Structure 1
Amino acid sequence: MTSSTQRHFEASVMNGGFILRAAAVSGFLLLSGCSLFSHQHEKPAIPKTADAETLYNYGIDALHTGHYELAGGEFELLQQNYPYSGFTGNAELMEGYAYYLQGEYALSVQQLERYLQLHPTSPDAAYAFYLRALCYYEQIANVERDQQGTVEALDALEEVITRFPQTSYARDAQLKIDLCRDHLAGKEMLVGRWYQQQRNYEAAMTRYQRVVQDYQTTNHVAEALERLVEVYLALGLKDQAHQTAAVLGYNYPDSQWYRYAYNDLRENHLLKNDLKKPVTHPGEQAHRGFFSRIWHSVF
């Protein structure tokens, strides 16, 4: 769990969120900085006859001291022993949170979905959906691996925005959506470059076009347009190459990718007066080879 996510959660707690600390002694422990678990690695025995409130407070205290597995066990025990108590709904949600803190994302999703099925109109449903989305988001792999997890994260984050558009969860979800889309575009670029390197220009063209069409707000569009110029030239599609360079120059006139595309057209004697000459910055090569541009774009 990222520190920002944990701070977000703690803010929810302190602002009257779903965690209920019912016993007065528990409130004293929180205010005084004391704990039912005085040391990080100590795991005191829970009384077998503990009531729902006691189990819940033990679970909360276990979370505060980093005993996430123990906390999840207390919340689960509460649900089993007191299925109709006033603490049971909170315990269901907190068990999902405890799994999340352990990095047990599949178990967290399962528990959160169970909570949402049982409490679809809960005031804490927004947080449950948000935490569920974070479980997928935390599992996003690097662009060299399969991106199904990124797609799942994107879908879950979009659901948060659709269901709870005016919440802080929706605002944070939008930032993460932008990162997911940039990640998916990066994967398309990686595959496209590989196809281009293998001289499979049609397949590379499909990947680059997908970036331009489906991921227009990402940082990969300028490079995708320049790669399309290269691919069109390789396929003998001169008009498409020129049109794509014009789009690139209009939208990214100061980018290195426009300079590369402009020089590609010049070397192929395809320059027309409608293309503005780019500015080459001091120390920068006017044209680079394919492999040096791969290195530059990746690193």
Structure 2
Amino acid sequence: MKVNFLVIFLLAMTLTACAGKPKDDPNAIQTAQTMYQQAKEVLDNGLYNRAIDLLTTVESRYPFGPLARQVQLDLIYAHYKVGNTPKALAGIDRFIRLNPNHPELDYVYYMRGLSNLQADENALHNIVGIDRADRDLASTRQAFDDFKTMLTSFPQSKYAPEAKKRMLSIKDTLARHELIIADYYMRRGAYLAAANRGKYIVEFYRDSPMVEQALEIMVESYDKLGLAKLKDDTYQVLKLNFPRNSKF
């Protein structure tokens, strides 16, 4: 009787253990899908703050479910749309770190570029359209690198054409920024610093429309510094590339 009792006891414990093993609950999966669909409809309708609330709820309740990655992608987009670039970038960096082989990684890098661009655009709102030579463009430079990474790693991506356009626009922005600084130095008599800024534009942004003005600043700076040879050489480059220039 003791042996039979022991066998029954062990069998009961085994069945209890099996029953306690985690299983995918069909009802839970269905609930997650329903919640996600509601959040997606809100997102598609442009109600981004409400979508963030709903998506965050789905993510917190089902962090390892089949929809987890898509929820994270949607949260990145929603945070970007409401202008919360710190949260968008945090979500992007986390996604890249945890999903280095995800099939939509090109989109994530593209969104990283857009978010970094947005970071500097948000800063411009406080300037009310006034150019400031001392304004940092670190996020814009990072955006350029993000788009470059995307194009290098995913040259066939559907986001590639737009990324290329963004990179050209960023180059013009950065060249203009350097020109503002060069002009700032000129007005304060820091002619060598102004010439160096102009030279930087010519070397690194040679296809920018700012090159002509950069050369003008270089010619004027070298003249103020009494560097006749550099002035003449730069003037020749200016006239060769911009024969209609009438400043000098």
Q: Same fold (TM over 0.5)?
A: yes
Larger RCO (CA under 8 A, 6+ residues apart): 2
Q: CA RMSD in A?
A: 1.9
> Which residue is 2:78 aligned to?
98
Give the number of equivalent residue pairs: 211
Q: Any residues of structure 2 matched to 1:258-277 within 5 Å, and which?
A: 258-261=245-248
C-alpha deviations, 1:230-278, integer Å up to 9, x for none? Answer: 1111111122111111111111223xxx3213xxxxxxxxxxxxxxxxx
State, as a whole percentage, how many aligned pairs show the same letter.
28
Residues 88, 125 of structure 1: alpha-carbon distance in 2 compared, 3 angstrom cutoff: same
In the TM superposition, what is the alpha-carbon distance from 1:84 to its structure 2 partner? 2.7
> Which residue is 1:125 aligned to?
105
C-alpha deviations, 1:84-119, integer Å up to 9, x for none? Answer: 322111111111111111111110111122222222
List 4+ stretches of structure 1 deviating above 4 A. none
- Measured in 2, the distance between the counterparts of 1:49 and 1:181 equals 47
Structure 1 counterpart of 2:84, one-letter code: E
Q: Any residues of structure 2 matched to 1:49-88 within 5 Å, and which?
A: 51-88=31-68
Residues 49, 173 of structure 1: alpha-carbon distance in 2 compared, 3 angstrom cutoff: closer
1:140 to 103, 120, 135: 120
- Measured in 2, the distance between the counterparts of 1:203 and 1:191 equals 9
- Measured in 1, the distance between the counterparts of 2:177 and 2:49 equals 35
Give the number of the structure whose residues are more often helix, by fraction. Answer: 2
> Could you tell me the TM-score, scaled by structure 1's length?
0.66
- Measured in 2, the distance between the counterparts of 1:169 and 1:66 equals 21
- Measured in 1, the distance between the counterparts of 2:143 and 2:234 equals 32
- Measured in 2, the distance between the counterparts of 1:82 and 1:73 equals 14
1:251 to 236, 241, 244: 241
> Which residue is 2:231 aligned to?
241
> Which residue is 1:43 aligned to?
none
1:183 to 173, 182, 196: 173
- Measured in 1, the distance between the counterparts of 2:92 and 2:136 equals 25
- Measured in 1, the distance between the counterparts of 2:178 and 2:66 equals 50
Unmatched runs of 5 consecutive residues or more in structure 1: 1-47, 262-299
8 Å contact kept, 2:29–2:65 = no
> Which residue is 2:139 aligned to?
149
Larger Rg: 2
Q: Does 1:109 align with 2:89?
A: yes
2:208 aligned counterpart, secondary structure: coil
Residues 52, 227 of structure 1: alpha-carbon distance in 2 compared, 3 angstrom cutoff: same
1:140 aligned counterpart, secondary structure: helix
